[in-house]
Structure 1
Amino acid sequence: MPRIRSVADSAGLHRRSVLAVTGAVALSAGVGYALRPDGEAVAADAATDEAVRASSRQAPAAPLAPYTRGTTLEGVSVPRGGSGYRRLEEGPGWGRVIRGELAAARSGRDDRRTTLAAFVHLTDLHVLDVQHPLRLEYLRSTDVRAWRPQEALTVHGAVALVERINALRGAPVTGSPLHFAMTTGDNTDNNTRTELDWFLKVFSGGRVTPNSGDPRHYEGVQNSGLRQYWQPDTAVRDADKQLGFPHLDGFLAAAVREVNSPGLNLPWYSTVGNHDTMPLGCYASHGDSHLAELAVGGRKLMEIPAAEAKKLQQAIKKATDPRGVQYGEFLKTHARAMRPVTPDEARAPFTPTEYLKAHLDPAHRGFGPVGHGYTAANLDAGTQYYAFRVSDDVIGISLDTTDPGGHYTGSLGTAQLRWLERTLRTNKDSRAIVFSHHTSESMSNTHRDPARPDERRHDGRELLELLGRHRNVVAWVNGHLHRNAVTPHTGPAGSFWEISTASHIDFPHLARVIELVDNEDGTLSLFTTLIESAAPSRTDHDDLTQTGLAALYRELSSNAPDARTDLGGTPQDRNTELLLKA
């Protein structure tokens, strides 16, 4: 077994990597580290709760050993059988691929390594209020992928992922304690308060009832009798049942029952995505009273002709209506086709300020840090980007790539771009890991921010150029595309890896452990290891417990009609060792 050198092994202990092993103790106790403009680390909350401290994850004694149990190195859920609706089973694991585009792999590095950071990356959870009146399910009449049969179980799937992370006893390669988790946006699906509350309880711990409207039962497309949606509880021969989807008595009642989440047992940070910022993830319609009234009201559109659905979908894709004005008119013209549902004020959209306040709420602290990266300074400035100290040798930088001008693609404003440049320059002696929701290829939206109409917006190409000017940048970690992808980038001052992780709403439902190590030979390595949720691969259709539904969540997504089969990426995008010059 390769020897992974921890700082505890080193006679010449250097302060720059001291938190690589011991940092988990302080951080898991709920003490977050924010960065002042001068780069000095300061405790975000000195009043650490003793109960949290007592239950914090402790650094294991050296020597550290790799921990691969529960990772995709050991096994991956795969469909069995030839065609039609296919059940899942655990298949062989995915091996590790060494990628040397940015630096050559040198022999002996396995015996020299010092761990600098180890963390978990989650993205695109899309915690869903499936009964929300403003959802676009009816686009399924033109695009079968516009609605997913698994959507009622997003909370169950997210809790099972939390359980998997909690079960990891160390990092897969180095055995290092996991220092934190970062979720890079689209934590919610429809910018609604119900979803925000559920997401925060899943991550920080608590009981979640994934139901809105009538507290007694489900009201939505899955008991509508409409054949374009899977009707699990009835004998309706819907389009999905014709493909083999099961009849499950009691499914909807089980889907809206209370779910218990243990919460993450390590500190977690949050990055904002377009679905967290805008209704439907694309409309800059805050302040539109008509849409807000429909969100909390008692009418829901569930069906439109395919031709009208196609026209609306094309308008969304082309960003011809970023403020949602035409969408509001569209809903008015279809008012008579809407079905009655129970009104619910909790379905109201939340503003960016409310998003920050919810993260800062002590009820959602969990293992900290307070605010999960966001601070009172963000509230005062009206910003959703920040930097934090990962270890003495590493900083994390969380960007807000959502465009307040509307549409689901992203960009950065000039003020944030300048802040990023200052932060990287001020912390030039620290390795930098940048987090965002959007990828470099999906930052193509330069609609002006209505609150800052004179400020220019900058696309992914410009952000790549900026990051390439700073030698300390080692990784840009993001999501949005729902696909595993690992891409090398080279700039005038240095090189870095862009690491995009698949979503946790579409199959194969993955998150990723990332380890940064110094090989002590002039190179660094970034190890990426994918993980599934703790739910079993095999399902029992009679098991409608919380765990049974989490397993069914994966199976349903695997069978979603016309679902993409490339979201897991190639072997080069999955479990990897990514080399860099130090």
Structure 2
Amino acid sequence: MAGMTQIPTNRRHFLLTSGAAVAGTGAALALPGRRSSSAAPGAGHARTLPRTAPARPAVRRAAPHGVTTLDTAARLVGSSGYRRLTSGPGWPLVVRGELAAASTGRQDRRTPLACFVQFTDLHVVDVQSPLRSEFLRAGSPGSWRAQEALSVAGSVSLVEQANALGGGPHTGRPPAFVMSTGDNIDNHSMVELEWFLTLMSGGRITPNTGDPASFEGVQNSGLPLYWHPDDGLRDQDKKRGLPQIPGYLEAAMRPVTSPGLRMPWFSTPGNHDDLPGGCLTPQDPTLTEYITGARKLFSVPDTDVAAFKKVLDSGDDPKSTVLKDILARNAGRARTVTPDERRRMATPHEYLRAHLNPAFAGAGPVGHGYTDNHLDGDRMYYSFPVAEGVVGISIDTTYRSGHYEGSLGTEQLQWLERTLAAHSSRHYDADGRLVRNAGADDAHILVFSHHHSPSMTRRPDAARADERRHDGEEVIALLSRFPNVVAWINGHSHINRITPHAHPTAARSFWEVNTASHVDYPQHARVIELVDNHDGTLSLFTTLIESAAPHHTDFDDLSAVGLASLYRELSYNAPGLAGMTGAVHEGLAGTAADRNTELLVRRA
């Protein structure tokens, strides 16, 4: 990819397979504030750089607005070992004119149409779950995250940041809602789903399962394969410079209170929401018993690591046979843990029912996009009003039989086409002929999904064996037939990337906005604003935000805010990243043209 350092393409695979994946103070953590310390895509489409992409350090903004990466962004200090974070300068606004020219004076005549926030890939995780396969780290160090025990505290801080946004930085319009575009949870379990829904809607979360009084995960196992923050074991992460932080695990398990979002929020499913580990067979009897049971594997022979990694990379084990064989063959190596029925896998029906529970309504709407009608067939796709004259369409791109890639079935693709047509006074059929629909309520259309187009394939779905599957190129072709589609907004890749999808007829082009995760570096979400420039174009502004936690981390601070800061800093020091150049870090965060942007598109 021109102009961008290549990221290893298998990073997504080994992150998701481990169960790792693939300044607010409102979060109340019942902790003493201080203690002593002895701390020492995935490949995407080929891209054409913007024809008009000036980086503008001075950004014209509407006030009031909360802190965004236009103001300041985390910056790495040092060049080797464990690298600390500090506050750096904000990132500039980049104007992208591949799909429509940027005319002068548009700043003075534009009208705000919509403002909202995108969360994606939160991966709220039960790190003590027996079904997690952290042992894959023996084959690739990045297969397990040192920071993941803090996912709840880190996500609460992101909720606080969203609440602090008084208005979008370019329109001043308050965000109308948050859309969470999938991988909301990590292990497909009921307890994680409860934590996620409480996080978003408000309430107390105790991020601990199994023994209520002690930690039973890999981080106090005595195995140097994993970071042991509480003790002096010379593990492989401390050798890389990760600190010793006595009290870390106790702090990670203590209750956190989320204020909940002060605005409505909507939910889109990802592969980790539908599948254990994001890729394993759901509701398999062996795996169902194991995830709630009393035995957990902390390590396996290297041959088993290699065998499991091979099928996870290929996706050619839809019944999880290799994993089940590993669990059986290594039963004598498994350690005893406390069983916990709350870890059971969530069926699609239970996932929908939980969203519809009034106890998790928060700021609304009840169901967060889903209604009782969706329980018929356990459908997880819907449309909703974004703002006057703007419609959102949330699609379900997951394979329910067990795979981390995405696709659409024919039934949903046909529903998507009908929904697009219902909000389009004119469009083009598959042969390129103009179709007029005088009865349609013409609207600007935003499409939301978990998977981005490069991660969608035509692989058959064993759970829906009679239905043909459709890949990302087919979705792009469909969306390109509707001139009023403005953007397709998604996640999954854990990388910031914005791609123009140009059509020979310029009025039939749209943007694909792919946003990085909030569990891995760079831990971002986006504020998205749509405006009418009254010159035949629309502008879609994308502005990255970080959590509310300070960039500077104090190892002596085990408050909620301190843990959220540590969550971010540990993610910046992940194996495979810590020793890499700034160019690689930039590749994961995206180039300047993938971060804070003004994306111009012709008005239909």
TM-score relative to the length of structure 2 = 0.84
3-state SS of 1:408 partner: strand
- Aligned match for 1:435, one of 418, 441, 448: 448
Query: How many Å apart are 1:527 and its aligned residue?
Result: 0.3
What letter matches 1:523 in structure 2? T
3-state SS of 2:493 partner: coil
Query: How many Å apart are 1:382 and its aligned residue?
Result: 1.8
Summarize deviations over 1:213-258 as a string: whole Å, max 9, x none: 0011211100000001000111110000011111111110000000
Residue in structure 2 matched with residue 43 of structure 1 by the alignment: none
| Cα distance in 2 between the residues matched to 1:426 and 1:449 | 31
| Cα distance in 2 between the residues matched to 1:406 and 1:297 | 21
| Cα distance in 2 between the residues matched to 1:70 and 1:306 | 47
Structure 2 matches for 1:422-461, cutoff 5 A?
422-428=418-424, 429-450=442-463, 452-461=464-473
Residue in structure 2 matched with residue 130 of structure 1 by the alignment: 127
| Cα distance in 2 between the residues matched to 1:81 and 1:305 | 36
Residue in structure 1 matched with residue 75 of structure 2 by the alignment: 78
Residue in structure 1 matched with residue 398 of structure 2 by the alignment: 402
2:282 and 2:401 in contact (8 A); partners too = no
Summarize deviations over 1:37-64 as a string: whole Å, max 9, x none: xxxxxxxxxxxxxxxxxxxxxxxxxxx9
| Cα distance in 1 between the residues matched to 2:500 and 2:539 | 13
Residue in structure 2 matched with residue 575 of structure 1 by the alignment: 596
1:208 and 1:258 in contact (8 A); partners too = yes
| Cα distance in 2 between the residues matched to 1:561 and 1:375 | 42
What letter matches 1:568 in structure 2? A
1:516 and 1:526 in contact (8 A); partners too = yes
1:536 aligns with 2:557: no
Residue in structure 2 matched with residue 207 of structure 1 by the alignment: 204
Query: How many Å apart are 1:381 and its aligned residue?
Result: 3.0
| Cα distance in 2 between the residues matched to 1:210 and 1:101 | 45
Structure 2 matches for 1:5-20, cutoff 5 A?
none
Query: How many Å apart are 1:324 and its aligned residue?
Result: 1.4
1:441 and 1:460 in contact (8 A); partners too = yes
1:334 aligns with 2:335: no
1:409 and 1:445 in contact (8 A); partners too = no
- Aligned match for 1:484, one of 496, 502, 511: 496
3-state SS of 1:97 partner: strand
Summarize deviations over 1:75-101 as a string: whole Å, max 9, x none: 111111231111110001100000000
| Cα distance in 2 between the residues matched to 1:111 and 1:194 | 50
Summarize deviations over 1:301-333 as a string: whole Å, max 9, x none: 111233321221110110110221332122111
Residue in structure 2 matched with residue 353 of structure 1 by the alignment: 349
| Cα distance in 2 between the residues matched to 1:233 and 1:133 | 21
1:274 and 1:281 in contact (8 A); partners too = yes
| Cα distance in 2 between the residues matched to 1:295 and 1:533 | 31
- Aligned match for 2:106, one of 91, 104, 109: 109
Residue in structure 2 matched with residue 312 of structure 1 by the alignment: 308
What letter matches 1:482 in structure 2? H
2:76 and 2:85 in contact (8 A); partners too = yes
Summarize deviations over 1:97-122 as a string: whole Å, max 9, x none: 00000000001100111111110011
Residue in structure 2 matched with residue 513 of structure 1 by the alignment: 527
3-state SS of 1:121 partner: strand
1:95 aligns with 2:109: no
1:270 aligns with 2:267: yes
| Cα distance in 2 between the residues matched to 1:462 and 1:572 | 26
1:497 aligns with 2:505: no
1:547 aligns with 2:543: no
Where do 4+ consecutive residues of structure 1 move more than 2 Å? 64-69, 305-308, 490-493, 563-566
| Cα distance in 1 between the residues matched to 2:111 and 2:163 | 24
1:125 and 1:504 in contact (8 A); partners too = yes
Summarize deviations over 1:371-425 as a string: whole Å, max 9, x none: 0001111112321000001122100000000012321000000000000000000
1:205 and 1:366 in contact (8 A); partners too = yes
Residue in structure 2 matched with residue 164 of structure 1 by the alignment: 161
Summarize deviations over 1:412-464 as a string: whole Å, max 9, x none: 000000000000001110111000000000002522342x3211010111111
| Cα distance in 2 between the residues matched to 1:177 and 1:455 | 42
Residue in structure 1 matched with residue 213 of structure 2 by the alignment: 216
| Cα distance in 1 between the residues matched to 2:458 and 2:292 | 30
What letter matches 1:100 in structure 2? G
1:414 and 1:457 in contact (8 A); partners too = yes
Q: Structure 1 residues 276-285 or 149-158, which shifts more?
A: 276-285
Residue in structure 2 matched with residue 385 of structure 1 by the alignment: 381
Summarize deviations over 1:489-509 as a string: whole Å, max 9, x none: 023560100000110001111
> What number of residue pairs does the alignment pair up?
517
1:254 aligns with 2:251: yes
User: What RMSD in Å do the two structures reach over aligned CA positions?
Assistant: 1.2
1:150 aligns with 2:162: no
Query: How many Å apart are 1:514 and its aligned residue?
Result: 0.5
Q: Structure 1 residues 66-75 or 165-174, which shifts more?
A: 66-75
What letter matches 1:467 in structure 2? L
2:282 and 2:345 in contact (8 A); partners too = no
| Cα distance in 2 between the residues matched to 1:557 and 1:307 | 29
3-state SS of 1:356 partner: helix
3-state SS of 1:433 partner: strand
| Cα distance in 1 between the residues matched to 2:354 and 2:99 | 41
- List gaps (5 residues or longer) in structure 2: 1-60, 425-441, 578-583
3-state SS of 1:110 partner: helix
Query: How many Å apart are 1:539 and its aligned residue?
Result: 1.0
Residue in structure 1 matched with residue 36 of structure 2 by the alignment: none
3-state SS of 1:240 partner: helix
What letter matches 1:86 in structure 2? R
| Cα distance in 2 between the residues matched to 1:69 and 1:366 | 22
Query: How many Å apart are 1:285 and its aligned residue?
Result: 3.0
2:163 and 2:262 in contact (8 A); partners too = yes
| Cα distance in 2 between the residues matched to 1:279 and 1:124 | 15
3-state SS of 1:381 partner: coil
1:431 and 1:472 in contact (8 A); partners too = yes
Residue in structure 2 matched with residue 240 of structure 1 by the alignment: 237
| Cα distance in 2 between the residues matched to 1:383 and 1:334 | 38
What letter matches 2:303 in structure 1? A
3-state SS of 1:160 partner: helix
3-state SS of 2:570 partner: helix
| Cα distance in 2 between the residues matched to 1:271 and 1:445 | 21
1:285 and 1:323 in contact (8 A); partners too = no
